[in-house]
Amino acid sequence: MDERRDTDRGETKGTGNRIKIEFFATLRLVLGVAGLEIEADGPVTVRQLISIASEKLGTDISAKLMDGDKIKRGTMILVNGKNIHHLNGLDTLVKPGDRVAVFPPAGGG
Amino acid sequence: MLGTYTGKLLRINLSTGEIKVEDIPEEYLRKYIGGRGLASYYLYKEVDPKVDPLSPENKLIFATGPLTGTAAPTGGRYMVVTKGPLTGTIASSNSGGFFGAELKHAGYDMLIVEGKSDKPVYIYINDDQVEIRDASHLWGKGTHYTTDKLKEETGLSRAKVACIGPAGENLVKFAAVINDKHRAAGRTGVGAVMGSKMLKAVIVKGSKKPKAATDKFLHVIREKTDTLRKDSITGEGLPKLGTKVLDNIINQNGLYPTRNFQTGVFEKTYEVSGEALVEKGYLIKNRACYACPIGCGRVTKLPTGLEGEGPEYETGWAFGADCGVSDLNAITEANFLCNDLGLDTISTGATIACAMELYERGILPKEDLQKGPELRFGNSEAIVYYTYKIAYREGLGDKLAEGSYRFAESYGHPEYSMSVKKQELPAYDPRGVQGHALEYATSNRGGCHVRGYMISPEILGVPEKLDPQSLEGKAEWVKIFQDLTAVIDSEGLCLFSSFALGADDYRDLLAAATGWDISTEEVMKAGERIWNLERVYNLKAGIDPKEDKLPKRFLEEPMPDGPNKGAVVKLDELLPKYYEVRGWTKEGIPTEEKLKELGIE
């Protein structure tokens, strides 16, 4: 509970050498899990992270998030609350202790 | 010749009892399209901008667009246009459901209500049979009872009803018009104008389906419907999770207004999100409006047994994070109450949030609560209690019913009202989105997110991802979004269609429905014309361009935490550029040349 509260606040990072990934919206409904933690000794790119996460989940999520080698239109991947579109795209480096939020295309109002 | 227009308007004077049908010149239709645009033009022509919004001299216009009541995807929208009591600006409020389509099927593009009755009445429309009838027995009743009772006593079980609840009768400045029980022309206090005319309801039954001017229409409809169904937002995200899919998105992006916009991250979002609504089992099914392939409406049932529609994203936020409340039960209950009492959920929740901040700061004294629950952030009892009190103007509710600006001002602190032009801001902290902030400041109906939804490019990445903190090109984007939205509102379509459709698509639909040889440029020019006409009306009403501003909090108090920590809105850089892009003077007034170019007299 406390851990979730912390990430919602957008302040805390993952713990130790872990990268915390959270899934939202239809992605969460499809995968049936709210998130996972990945151990890493050093920085990895978002691209690598997607591939590692796919392996852990046993489902290839890259097709849901990427269009070929690009981020799918409307897909939101946030590293510590910042959209990777305005960082270094799929090559954005994620460090142990960071948190990543992944949203499939979504809208409302 | 007129295609899917009826070319007729119904004019009813409640002072004299006169009922007449008039032709609408085709020239007006081509210039102002219909819906919001056409109704604004009639208001501009017929209602003195200086008029008291709650006086008999104001008019209340229900307007459909050329695509309302057709099979065009999302073609179920109508507008209520009037001069608004909350802002003193032009008011126009959009709603879905089935009422708009039925009005069109009865043979009218618009209904203009004038004057004021001396006793409660309702308007009965069954195609050409139109009557003003006594509604004394319905006065004081909720919108659900009123809707059911009217269908029963007229024997028109399949008729559609738009009505007000006690809030409209009691002239609450943010009272809504509710149609089909759960759909609201929510914002700007259009329900109070209806109440001031002693008009309880309009019940309508129609039997005439609009006929397109070209055979191509069905083909175009199929094509656009297909686009909507295949799109990941309109085909999957919105149907599955509704608008509340946004709670986590906006919170994780750090602009989810919390405790009257004191910060942009709410620590209990996981308790109240769209995902939670599904996971807690409150969601029963989706409900679609007329001709809508999206179906974002939520039919919900609470563990307490209460059933209704909602909450939508805005409502869930206004009673939730904005009031610091994480009890989804209480939030949903307050939502149901608003629908039945006829209140705008955004302004109701946000006004209570403002009162909570005033109370916690010691500005609002305890004795003023008149033994009501404490107005502390997080108090779920308070949101339900004061919602009820507002509708009936009882106790502190009487003051709250004036809206957050007048309320905070009465305690000497208007700066704690998170509003623009006296209308409460919706669920996006402008410090996290510079373009959307500009849209807030310049909206023609006061604080509002649906006059140019810059969240789409700045956060959601549709049609392309813009950096929310960059100022580059934002004025241009805001202008295009505002003009395009005016087109969508005027055609009678839902703004949500624009997640998948673009300006060319709206042109295709209009051209096929009317038979007009019309270009995308001409359609967008109509949008710009509508925007400028609304602006001129506001200027004539005495709304100073200096009101194109934001609460001081967003300009001077940096966001305290989350991903946007340290950010403020750079409005002084954005606004001059916007005026320039609009072709207005640097004081924010449309130039003679601009008005001439647009054909506005």
Q: Residue B575: is its pLDDT beyond 60?
A: yes
**What's the N-to-C CA distance of chain B in angstroms?**
27
Reported in sequence order, the residue ranges of B387-441 that DSSP labels E, i.e. its strands, are: 419-420, 423-424
Contact B242 A104 (CB under 8 A): no
For residue B175, pLDDT over 80 is answered with yes
Residues of B in contact with A9 (CB under 8 A): 265, 267, 561-562
Interface of A with B (CB under 8 A): 4-5, 8-11, 24-26, 28-29, 72-76, 78, 80-83, 85-86, 101, 103-109
In the predicted structure, residue B287 carries a pLDDT above the cut 50: yes
**% of chain B residues with pLDDT over 70:** 100
Asked if the Cβ–Cβ distance from B268 to A104 is below 8 Å, we say: no
What is the domain range of residue A33?
16-103
Q: Is the pLDDT of residue A2 over 60?
A: no
| DSSP-H helix ranges across B258-344 | 269-272, 274-279, 313-319, 328-341
Is residue A83 domain-resident?
Answer: yes
What is the average pLDDT across B376-388? 98
Residue B159 confidence class, pLDDT cut points 50, 70, 90: very high
Greatest Cα pair distance, chain A, in angstroms, is 41
In a domain, A32, yes or no: yes
- Rounded Cα distance between B312 and B321, Å, is 13
What residues in B contact A24, CB-CB < 8 Å? 248-249, 252, 275
The tens digit of pLDDT for each residue in B475-496 reads 999 999 999 999 999 999 999 9
Q: Is B293 buried (19+), middle (13-18) or exposed (0-12) by CB count in 10 A?
A: middle
Q: Which residues pair with B94 in a beta bridge?
A: B79
pLDDT of A3 above 60: no
CB of B176 within 8 A of CB of B163? no
Mean pLDDT of the residues in chain B: 97
**Stretch B427-446: mean pLDDT:** 98
Q: Is the pLDDT of residue B506 over 60?
A: yes
Would you state the pLDDT for residue B161? Answer: 98
Residue in A with minimal Cα distance to B270: A8
Residue A9 lies in a domain: no
Is the pLDDT at B176 greater than 90? The verdict is yes
Note whether B265 contacts A78, CB cutoff 8 Å: no
Cβ contacts of A103 on chain B, cutoff 8 Å: 248-249, 252
* Spatial contact of A44 and A94, defined as CB atoms under 8 Å apart: yes
Residue A95 domain-assigned? yes
Do the Cβ atoms of B248 and A86 come within 8 Å?
A: no
pLDDT band at B601 (very low <50, low <70, confident <90, very high): confident
Chain B residues within an 8 Å CB radius of A10 = 251-252, 254, 265, 561-563
For B387-409, write each residue's pLDDT tens digit. 999 999 999 999 999 999 999 99
Tell me which residue has tokens 């302004």.
Answer: B347
Q: Quick one: average pLDDT of B406-425?
A: 98
Find the mean pLDDT for residues B321-340.
96
Is the residue at A61 inside a domain? yes
What's the pLDDT band for A13 if we cut at 50, 70, 90? low
**Residue A5: band (very low, low, confident or very high) from pLDDT cuts 50, 70, 90:** very low
Tokens of B281: 């089992």
Retrieve residue A27's tokens: 């992605």
Could B237 and A105 be called an inter-chain contact, meaning their C-beta atoms sit closer than 8 Å?
yes
- Restricting to B residues 481-500, those with a Cβ less than 8 Å away from any Cβ of A are 495-496, 499
Please, is B354 exposed, middle or buried when counting C-beta atoms within 10 Å of its C-beta (0-12, 13-18, 19+)?
buried
User: CA B122 to CA B202: how far, in whole Å?
Assistant: 6
Q: Examine the pLDDT at A14 and tell me if it is beyond 80.
A: no
The CATH number of whichever domain residue A61 belongs to comes to 3.10.20.30
C-beta atoms of B268 and A108 within 8 A? no
Amino acid at B267: E
CB contact under 8 A, A11 and B562: yes
Determine, for residues B254 and A10 on separate chains, whether the beta-carbon distance falls below 8 Å: yes
Tens of pLDDT, residue by residue over B528-547, are 999 999 999 999 999 999 99
Q: Do residues B581 and B595 touch, judged by C-beta distance below 8 A? A: no
**Of the candidate ranges A26-35, A77-86, B68-77, the one whose mean pLDDT is the lowest:** A26-35
Q: Tell me, rounded to whole angstroms, the distance of Cα A15 from its chain centroid.
A: 16
Residue B259 clears pLDDT 60, i.e. is over it: yes
User: Is the pLDDT confidence value at A8 over 80?
Assistant: no
CA dihedral sign of residues B362, B364, B368, B370: negative
- What was the pLDDT predicted at B1? 58
**Burial of B223 from C-beta contacts in 10 A (0-12 / 13-18 / 19+):** middle
Which residue type occupies B514?
T
Mean pLDDT of B341-364: 98
Phi-psi region of B189 (alpha: psi -120 to 50; beta: other; left: phi over 0): left
Tally DSSP H helices, then E strands, for chain B: 25, 17
Helix axes B474-491, B35-46, angle to 10 degrees: 90
Q: Domain for residue A1, yes or no? A: no
Residue A64 lies in a domain: yes
Q: What CA–CA distance (Å, rounded) separates B568 from B431?
A: 5
DSSP codes of every residue in B498-563: GGT--HHHHHHHHHHHH-----HHHHHHHHHHHHHHHHHHHHHTT--GGG----HHHHHS---SST
Please tell me which residue of chain A has the smallest CA distance to B453.
A109
User: Domain for residue A25, yes or no?
Assistant: yes
Q: Which pLDDT score is estimated for B279?
A: 84
When divided into structural domains, chain A yields a total of 1
Residue A4 has pLDDT above 60, yes or no: no
CA–CA separation, B207 and A17 (whole Å): 68
* B432 vs A: CB within 8 A: no
Question: Measured between beta carbons, which residues in chain A are less than 8 angstroms from residue B234?
Answer: 107
Return the higher-pLDDT residue of B275 and B554. B554
pLDDT of residue B43: 98
- How much is the pLDDT for A10? 44
pTM attached to this predicted model:
0.96
